[in-house]
Amino acid sequence: MSLQQIDAGMLSRMFLAGAKNLESKKEWINELNVFPVPDGDTGTNMTMTIMSAAREVLELGNAADMQGLCKAISGGSLRGARGNSGVILSQLFRGFTRRIKEEESLTIPILAEALDKAVEQVRLNLPRYTKKCQHHSSVNGVYPACKNEEWTCGFWPGEIWLAYERTHDEAFRRAGLALVDSFDRRIRRRVKVAHHDMGFLYTPSCVAAYKLTGDEKARQAAILAAGQLVSRYQPKGEFIQAWGRMGSPINYRFIIDCLLNLPLLYWAYEQIHDPRFLQIATMHADTAQKYFIREDGSANHIVSFDPVTGEFLETFGGQGYAEGSSWTRGQAWALYGFVLSYVHTKKDSYLNTARRVANYFIANTPESGLIPVDFRQPADCTLEDSTAAAIAACGLLEIAGQLEQTGELGKTESRVYKKAALKLLTALEEKRCNWDENHDNLLEKCTAAFHDEAHEFSIIYGDYYFIEAVWKLTGEELFIW
């Protein structure tokens, strides 16, 4: 059986065994170092360095946790460093221990088995859904096949492309391109596209297809979808109208979800350099930043404006518990959406806003790691929404990745967000994933809206974002947004 986890006790034993082995080979190492002139003490210096750390590790005994152990290894080797080789060895230990000291254990590899199982679940679903899409909600563990007419139809081909990137299996490629044909027809014939969800539809399906295969039909379909999205921009208020007849007072509003549609516009701008795409995306993000995010980092769901003056009117509770509450999927859309806008624009305020929302999400995450439908739902309400956990994990990992590029302080802070994402994903994998081959879905206990009659079924985008989040952990994921 392969080793899957290293805790503090095992790492301590491994380190001491390595130190002993180095000590026994020091004369052999001394004889190796002869360039540019014979040195003769490299093995001795390395041994003195590691044995200094080993003594401090031994003093900890069996009670050491990962943080204490890392401190002993790093500090002991630095204090005992002898010669250039000893200093170099102590720095290697310092870098290694700084990376792992806040982990209770090392998972090798983290959740990789879950990713491979998810890919196999996608493979099992291919025969039924190659020419059809999966309906957004499951019935008895099965997603009814549907025409490409729902706003959620992009997530099934998104899963296919994630599976193709993982395996490079031609079966996934053929299925994904067959669905590209369907999405091309949909946008050209304008089949139920009079809404803001072009990004949810065309980024996972067609942008992903173009990035992986270079398929020109996929590229053109996605650019047309971006054009449809900007046609819903409202200059009075500076936002993209979510749904309904353009300019209608009752529909003159936008929702937090739309932040995930903006990456389609950023991508389209990069492709054809039409300034409308970049300008409208950033104006919408700026307006969302101003009116959706509260002082404590929580987010509104729906905001309305006056169609004549463009002035802010009011907010609505939407799919959450009540007006002023904290619908968890809305929080997840916000933290992921703002960091994605930062990725494309490098505007610091977007990253800072994403962090504020993420900090609020982390502070309100239950110890179990299982996310309620609304962070402010009644205490005796146990309703959950696993989609919120999966989407938030994607956002937290993206924030962590961006912070790692900003220097030492950013690297330290990034661990907070990665650790929070791991908590969410571990809870989902252990408690809310269904690996039954007779079921289409992966995640269970998803909820569309707090006040709906039905709760805690499976929702297609929960599956998609779970797979995407686990992919992000590898550092090798296809970045489609």
Residue 72 clears pLDDT 70, i.e. is over it: yes
Beta-carbon contacts of residue 212 (< 8 Å; ≥ 6 apart)? 161, 164, 165, 173, 176, 478
Mean residue pLDDT across the chain? 89
Q: Please, are residues 152 and 200 in contact by the beta-carbon 8 Å criterion?
A: yes
Residue 395's identity, in one-letter code, is G
pLDDT tens, residue by residue, 250-263 = 999 999 999 999 99
pLDDT of res. 1: 41
Please say if the pLDDT value at position 193 is more than 70: yes
Prior bond of 109 cis (ω within 30°): yes
Residue 214 has pLDDT above 50, yes or no: yes
Rounded Cα distance between 212 and 227, Å, is 22
Task: Look at 289 and 140; give whichever has higher pLDDT.
Answer: 289
| Cα distance between residue 195 and residue 244, in whole Å | 7
- Does residue 450 have a pLDDT over 80? yes
Give the whole-angstrom CA distance, residue 144 versus residue 357: 35
pLDDT of residue 37: 47
Task: Please list the residues that pair with 459 across neighbouring strands.
Answer: 137
Give the tens place of pLDDT for each residue, 28-66.
888 765 444 455 678 888 889 899 888 988 888 776 677
Structure tokens at 357: 């929302």
HSE-up (13 A, CA, CB side) for residue 129:
28
Q: Are the C-beta atoms of 221 and 207 separated by less than 8 Å? A: no
Examine the pLDDT at 95 and tell me if it is beyond 80.
no
Short-list 132, 150, 156, CA closest to 442: 156
Cα separation, 302 vs 162, in Å, equals: 31
More confident of the two residues 12 and 379: 379
Q: Is the dihedral of CA 274, 277, 280, 281 positive or negative?
A: negative
Strand partners of residue 105: 7
The torsion angles phi and psi of 190, rounded to 5 degrees, stand at: 55, 50
pLDDT of residue 97: 63
Residue 142, both tokens: 């099965």
Q: pLDDT tens, 342-393?
A: 999 999 999 999 999 999 999 999 999 999 999 999 999 999 999 999 999 9
Distances (CA, A) of 426 to 239, 367, 395, 473: 37, 12, 16, 12
Task: Please identify every residue annotated as catalytic.
Answer: 197, 257
| 98 pLDDT higher than 70 | no
**What end-to-end distance do the CA atoms of the chain give, in Å?**
38
Check whether 340 has a pLDDT greater than 70.
yes
- Per-residue pLDDT at 96 exceeds 80: no
pLDDT digits 0-9 by tens, 143-169 = 999 999 999 999 999 999 999 999 999
Of residues 243, 204, 209, 210, the one with CA closest to residue 461: 204
Predicted local distance difference test score (pLDDT) of residue 42? 81
What domains does the chain contain, in order, with CATH numbers? Answer: 5-107 (no CATH), 112-474 (1.50.10.10)
Number of Cβ within 10 Å of residue 180's Cβ equals 24
Of residues 479, 450, 464, 436, the one with CA closest to residue 134: 464
Query: Where does residue 405 rank: exposed (0-12), middle (13-18), buried (19+ CB within 10 A)?
Result: exposed
| Max avg pLDDT among 37-41, 104-108, 129-133 | 129-133
CB of 179 closer than 8 Å to CB of 217: no
Tell me the C-alpha to C-alpha distance, in Å, between residue 94 and each of 74, 100, 408. Answer: 5, 10, 14
Token reading at 26: 């020091």
